Amino acid sequence: MRVLLVLVFVALAAAQDYDYCGPLERLKVKHQWGEIFSVSQQRELFSRNFWTEFFFEDPSARGLFTRVRGDNIWSPEFMAHSLRVLGGLDLSISLLTEEDVFDAALAHLKAQHEPRGITDQNWELFKNTLAVIVARYDTGGRFDADAWKACATKIADAIR
């Protein structure tokens, strides 16, 4: 009986789903995001850091933002757009624990993004950049890469 019990626990541990954005992961992400993105001056700095990293990794992605001066992340046009994009992310993260409202909000964001020609590679870059920048802002050593990956994937998959 003991052996069977041990085998069950080993099987459960091996089956741990690190791509699961469950209730605990959603709360962690919401809390960590709130610490990072709650002050307006910090939002602008976060935004500039995010897009600097994003375009460093893929300079050709600037082409997605020609209408809003993607060639210059310091321009007022790009900063306004950037804050709208991150505002949508802020909304998405804040709704992670409200499934019905989350689904409706992300359906709306999906309709806005469909005609933009955003590739799967662009979405992956967005998620990876988000993880890199959020990890840099983690001053308390509580960054949960698995939770962020899983919940960012949940958000991105609902929009793409």
Which residue ranges make up the annotated binding site for heme b? Answer: 113
Q: Which of 155, 72, 60 is nearest to 117 (CA)?
A: 60
Measured distance CA(17)–CA(31) in Å, rounded: 21
Binding-site residue ranges: 113
Measured distance CA(160)–CA(151) in Å, rounded: 14
Measured distance CA(89)–CA(83) in Å, rounded: 10
Cβ contacts of 116 within 8 Å, gap of 6 or more: 64
